[in-house]
Amino acid sequence: MERRVLESAVGSKGRTLYGYAARFNEPTDLGGFSEIIRPGAFKRSLASDDAQKIRAIYEHDSRSLLGRLGAGTLRLYEDAQGLAFEGDLPDTQLGRDLPVLVERGDIGGCSFGFIAQGEQWEGETRHLTDVDLHEITITATPAYDSTTVQVRRE
């Protein structure tokens, strides 16, 4: 499974993280090749029966669960800019610590775990056109600098 880091936002009970886990048409250098996510790349995956299993986690660590689409604690959708998300933070130590780190600017992006189902190559640039999305992750080291994460307190 491949993973990509992107900026985004996440939240806890009374706190929500939100932002963009991926941005369309913005290349990133992955060392040896560039990658661009095309509009619609997540559409099929988000509409599939397996979408309910998509999780939000911290730093690609499956033990650091923040939310899941099937539980309603994670919401994902494509818009003109990319893969937008919002997630309700759990009342756990991580759920309490993460918004503080986001607000301080220590955590500022997202990544995502996926399996490519559709791709096109132009020289050294891979265009992702269809992916099976498995996770989004909140991270301090996003591969895509254009991702975002913010905290909304409710």
Q: What is the pLDDT along the chain (154 residues), one digit of tens a residue?
A: 766 543 344 333 458 999 999 999 999 999 999 999 999 999 999 999 999 999 999 999 999 999 999 999 999 999 999 999 999 999 999 999 999 999 999 999 999 999 999 999 999 999 999 999 999 999 999 989 999 999 987 6
What is the model's pLDDT at position 2? Answer: 66
Residue 32 CA to residue 107 CA, distance in Å, equals 26
How many CB atoms sit inside 10 A of residue 137's CB? 26
User: Is the CB of residue 11 less than 8 Å from the CB of residue 17?
Assistant: yes
Tell me the three state secondary structure of residue 8: coil
In three-state secondary structure terms, 129 is strand
Strands 34-37 and 125-139, bridge-based pairing: parallel
- Which backbone phi and psi does 126 adopt, to 5 degrees? -100, 130
Q: Tokens standing for 126?
A: 């891979």
CA distance 131 to 118: 7
